[in-house]
A and B are shown apart, each in its own frame.
Chain A
């Protein structure tokens, strides 16, 4: 199956600064594909290149089999873009935001109006159709932006940090809508620095750091490959956690020391906890949990994602 987005050695430079440093990506039809990484990893630059608003500095990039530099308008006609910061039209109403946007795609007015109403239902904003954009909550604005990205029935939807800045309840509502889209067969490409978001939504993802891809796979694959089944988080009441970590040498496969806690990568968390107590260490708190993408990232880069 040919890939919808195909990149080989893709590079983006701004002056001396290299934002994207030779990445290879293939996004297949119908999947939800994620770019995971901390701020400044090069995710947004990559998204802008895919959105055909930022010409690549080097390498190969094909979207829907077309060249983004030459065929920008043709490609964008089939993309839906939900930017990191909402850029809704504050001079228009909620519904007009969708109908005028549809006109930019050359969609006939009648079709635009019908689609606007369907989409407002889909993102649960039908009651606010006549309202201005300004008074909407952050979650509502984001849902409206998502609806706007769907107005041209795109083949690929690009979502840059779709839930950054939203409260937990609003996030779940957005996730639920995106999950529905995925079920309808829409190809989703999203960036995120939230592990839970990536785990919830992505079939496949790449972990980016410093403009490069450091790992590729499904969330499960990545966790199996780069982490253990369980993690024990220990907190010691002390200035430095390092002396305690030294005493934990040999417990589990790996020990990571963070400023405020020690992580033990183990197969069986309870057994490891017992071993900690056997070594007569008494941490202030103990938490046994399953490995997450956070641990994958920590292992690959030696840093945490959200700092």
Chain B
């Protein structure tokens, strides 16, 4: 059975929930079973935001992810909080522009990308999340590269269609960013 148990975490406003929705839609396109569970409390107004996504061949049981095999960490508190919870061998994508440390655990695979800086350098303010997603697609294969456009069409609401190409560009940047070790 093939399944991804994903946690995406950062602070409210970074587009954590949107990134999760995009990955869910990408799974749906491939007829996978998916679930998406957000934080919905005061976090929504600017605390720590977290989103659990499961993409699975089998029907999804509990939508709660307790041992993620994929972690996308978009700030330091999120990495501090969820790194210990990761399953052995989990793959962790870290925004190295925002998180000033490497993984502590040696049984995890870390992928570092200065996503926040890349977003600013490319005039993609607010799209750090999609750069991280691009990196996750490249390194982990959370969804197929060919599905990016179709999934984005479904995720971006009608009234924000003008932002479609910027979102796609952000995913591209993340996808094409070379692997590098943390300095």
Partners in one complex: no
